[in-house]
DNA sequence: ATTATTGCAAAGTGTTTGCATAACA
DNA sequence: TGTTATGCAAACACTTTGCAATAAT
């Protein structure tokens, strides 16, 4: 996890059943899942998988860029199959989280100037509101 | 936090020493503090205060609008003396969190149209970058 | 054969809660 | 006096870790 002196070789990721199962569930979910939601799903097919394996793999795959880690403010970590740049909207009523394409009516102009002395390298944008279903 | 039927009476907040001490530390801090940072500070003056009192009071005062709760993605909760609308920037190197005025080079155009079926009522914007001190 | 990965249990964070006692208004 | 607030300890939810056994390359 550390590019030390000069030869940084990323750990190869072995394709274990557990890994495969976890990846499948995250990718076919239409929701952004928490670790234990993934656990419950994978468990149906691999009853002996352990929760820590799920945690470890979600983290590892997120590090590898296979999945996206989703850390909404004040909430449990979730994992997302969509690794493209996008924002999120959370329904304050039912808690559902939906993706928001970067261009969906949102115009964010950072200019090139630093904000408050910061050299800004990125930002995250999170909407809240009421989803279609809830109104 | 809930205006139910008709007689909503907010609990009166008693001004205890603990409450006062906590409030003071948060207000005079130039940082956004976590509960246990507040605890350590208040403890210097009130050695017998308990951590749960700190937690309870920070939450209660945030509910009352005296302080602002600050939930940056994937991080510990912090509390903020500034209850006005503003954004935050976090230094990826030292972890410092600074306020960003709503108009600081940021142009966010929501239009009036809903995003992805959401009736958007708010958003939160969080910058990351390198702070002045760190570069 | 080598080394990444697993399952399990245990430990770690950060936060909340129940309860009897104390302090406020 | 009536009720909110406190301290303590214990519970909680989520996540990480140590370790010996196992599986992938």
> Can you tell me the mean pLDDT for B77-99?
86
How distant, in Å, are the alpha carbons of A36, A38, A39, A49, B16 from that of A52? 10, 11, 9, 9, 44
Rg of the Cα atoms in chain A: 18
More confident site: B125 or B17 = B17
Q: Is the pLDDT score of B103 beyond 90?
A: no
How far apart are the CA of A54 and the nearest CA of chain B, in angstroms?
18
Do residue A121 and residue B129 have CB atoms under 8 angstroms apart?
yes
Rg of the Cα atoms in chain B: 18
- Å between CA of B28 and C1' of C16: 27
**Separation between Cα atoms, residue A88 and residue A32, nearest integer Å:** 10
Nearest Cα neighbor of B129 from A124, A126, A109 is A124
Do residue A118 and residue B130 have CB atoms under 8 angstroms apart?
yes
Q: Helices A51-63 and A35-45 sit at what angle, rounded to 10 degrees?
A: 120
pLDDT score recorded for residue A129: 86
Q: Is the pLDDT score of A104 beyond 50?
A: yes
pLDDT score recorded for residue B8: 52
Per-residue pLDDT band for B94 (boundaries 50, 70, 90) equals confident
Tokens of A126: 């999170």
Per-residue pLDDT band for B28 (boundaries 50, 70, 90) equals very high
- As a three-state string, the secondary structure of A36-57 is HHHHHHHHHHCCCCCHHHHHHH
Give the DSSP H/E element, type plus range, for residue A86: strand A86-91
Give the residue from A105, A112, A113, A122 with the most B CB atoms within 10 Å of its CB, the best one to mutate.
A105
Query: The pTM is what?
Result: 0.82
How far apart are the CA of A114 and the nearest CA of chain B, in angstroms?
9
Does residue B43 sit at the A interface (CB-CB below 8 Å)? Answer: no
Does residue A126 sit at the B interface (CB-CB below 8 Å)? Answer: yes
User: What totals of helices (H) and strands (E) does chain B contain, helices first?
Assistant: 3, 6
Give per-residue pLDDT as tens, B67-84: 999 988 888 999 999 988
Q: Cβ of residue B75 near strand D, that is under 7 Å?
A: no
Does residue A85 sit at the B interface (CB-CB below 8 Å)? Answer: no
Does residue B6 sit at the A interface (CB-CB below 8 Å)? Answer: no
Match 């609008």 to its residue by tokens.
B65
Q: Is the pLDDT score of B5 beyond 50?
A: no
Q: Cβ of residue A52 near strand D, that is under 7 Å?
A: yes
CB A79 within 8 A of CB A26: yes
How far apart are the CA of A93 and the nearest CA of chain B, in angstroms?
11
Q: What are phi and psi of A109, to 5 degrees?
A: -105, 105
Within 7 Å of a protein beta carbon, the nucleotides of strand D are 4-10, 13-18, 23-25
Per-residue pLDDT band for B58 (boundaries 50, 70, 90) equals very high
Q: Kindly list the structural domains of chain B, giving each domain's residue range(s) and its CATH number in brackets, ordered by start.
A: 14-102+119-129 (1.10.10.10)
Nearest Cα neighbor of B130 from B89, B99, B100, B76 is B89
Per-residue pLDDT band for A1 (boundaries 50, 70, 90) equals very low
Q: What average pLDDT does the structure give for chain B?
A: 83
Positive or negative: CA dihedral A46, A49, A55, A58: negative
How distant, in Å, are the alpha carbons of A18, A100, A104, A108 from that of B118? 36, 10, 11, 19
**Separation between Cα atoms, residue A58 and residue A26, nearest integer Å:** 9
Match 């550390």 to its residue by tokens.
A2
Give per-residue pLDDT as tens, A42-75: 999 999 999 999 999 999 999 999 999 998 888 8
Q: Is the pLDDT score of B106 beyond 60?
A: no
CB A76 within 8 A of CB A70: no
Per-residue pLDDT band for A97 (boundaries 50, 70, 90) equals confident
């Amino acid at each position: 996890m550390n590019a030390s002196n000069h030869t940084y070789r990323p750990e190869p990721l072995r394709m274990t059943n557990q890994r495969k199962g976890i990846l499948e569930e995250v990718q076919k979910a239409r929701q952004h899942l928490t670790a234990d939601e993934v656990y419950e799903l994978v468990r149906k097919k691999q009853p002996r998988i352990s929760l820590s394996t799920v945690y470890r793999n979600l983290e590892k795959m997120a590090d590898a860029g296979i999945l996206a880690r989703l850390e909404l403010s004040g909430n449990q970590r979730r994992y997302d199959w969509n690794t493209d740049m996008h924002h999120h909207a959370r329904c304050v009523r039912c808690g559902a989280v939906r993706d928001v394409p970067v261009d969906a009516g949102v115009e964010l102009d950072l200019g090139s100037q630093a904000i408050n002395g910061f050299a800004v390298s990125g930002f995250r944008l999170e909407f809240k509101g009421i989803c279609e279903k809830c109104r």
